[in-house]
A = this chain, B = another copy of it.
Amino acid sequence: MAMRLYTYYRSSAAYRVRIALNLKGLVYEAIPVHLRTNEQNAAAYRAINPQGLIPTLTEDGRAIGQSLAIIEYLDEVHPEPPLLPQEPRARARVRQIAFAVACDIHPLNNLRMLRHLKERLRQDDDALTVWQHHWMAEGFAAIEILLADSPDTGRFCHGNTPGLADICLVPQLYNARRVGLDLAPYPTMMRIEAACQEVAAFAAAHPARQPDAE
């Protein structure tokens, strides 16, 4: 049965999964879930993803939530091309970078958090920008060191083929540009992002190229 991806064009977690699906050459049906109109909180969507978060991948009636769980699943079931290197320490390095984005940057800045800060903590737009810049800059500074200081870094985050770390980094950089973060302090990340943008799988996953883009 065909895979379905519940996605939103600007969701950076969905963007990660779109890149992974494209790198694997997998065909999927995109089901847009409109975050701005809160479709993710409707009972129909909560029934397949109790967190009410994007994305969800369904296949044969079974649902997987959490973008990194989906991507690890895709890599296990469709091993070519691999999204993680073979050697365990190399895999750990790639996952460390991926989690630095997926745990310590993105959930602090996604739409549900920004809404919470605005509605519950009465933060204004300027404060929200300061907040986002703070967490992105803190995370990016560490990732830049991990990339710049390592002989394992190649054209991409690990070696010369794109993988899980690049899949997390590129959507987070898209978010950073949207909020006007100065990216000059991260030259290694910028170089890797440019390399990713030349890969068709990344380009086709870009928010602006999704059917639900506004």
CA distance A139 to B146 in the complex (A): 30
Within 8 A of B (CB), among A92-136: 92-93, 95-96, 98-100, 102-104, 106-108, 113, 116, 120-121, 123, 127, 134
A89 near B69: Cβ-Cβ < 8 Å: no
- Chain B residue at minimum C-beta to C-beta distance from A87: B76
Contact size range, A: 35 or more
B77 near A88: Cβ-Cβ < 8 Å: yes
**Quick one: given A50-B145, A50-B146, A146-B50, are A91 and B104 in contact (CB under 8 Å)?**
no
CA distance A59 to B89 in the complex (A): 10
Give per-residue flags for A60-77: 1 if the beta carbon is below 8 A from chain B beta carbons, else 0: 001011101110110011
CA distance A56 to B99 in the complex (A): 13
